[in-house]
Amino acid sequence: MSDIISFDPRTISTPVYQELTKLRGQRQPTNDAEKKELKEQKAQAIELYTYLATWGLLRLKAEEKALKNEKQKVVVAFFNCLQAIWKQSNKNLTGNDGLSQLIALDVEEYLGLTGLALTVAQEFNFWANSIYHDVSGEE
């Protein structure tokens, strides 16, 4: 039995839930600016999968610096989750060196990480709808 690798689906769900819960905080929007911030967070979390599937992990990491405010916070949270789940402590995807780390990966490792990233992005979509259930409308 010790040769069997078990996979607990909470391995991916839990960090995503925790990051989005932390990002949202206990905020209940009372003005238009706060409502806008939460709408941006929710929209970005939902859009991660489509962006990754269309443009890829490398471009998402590069885009992180160009994004502003709440959208950037969601992408940073995404890479924090991906790093925690990937568990490659010698390769840090978070922060300024993350792009260099992605570029340096061999093709098999990059494609595997992209598959994991797509799964994490699906979780972001699910949990965004749950955590931001009271946030509606376009950003």
pLDDT, tens digit, 9 for 90 and up, residues 76-128 = 999 999 999 988 777 889 988 999 999 999 999 999 999 999 999 999 999 99
Residues composing the chain: 139
Give me the CATH code for the 31-127 domain, please.
1.10.520
What is the pLDDT confidence band of residue 50, given thresholds at 50, 70 and 90? Answer: very high
Contact call for residues 135 and 29 (beta carbons, < 8 A): yes
The answer, yes or no, to whether residue 1 has pLDDT greater than 70, is no
What is the pLDDT confidence band of residue 137, given thresholds at 50, 70 and 90? Answer: low
The answer, yes or no, to whether residue 75 has pLDDT greater than 50, is yes
Q: Within the chain, what is the greatest distance between any pair of CA atoms?
A: 56
pLDDT of residue 6: 55
Q: Which residues contact 57 (CB under 8 A, 6 or more apart)?
A: 102, 110, 113, 114, 117
pLDDT in tens, 2-39: 445 456 778 899 999 999 999 998 877 778 888 899 99
Domain range annotation of the chain: 31-127
Structure tokens at 74: 């969601």
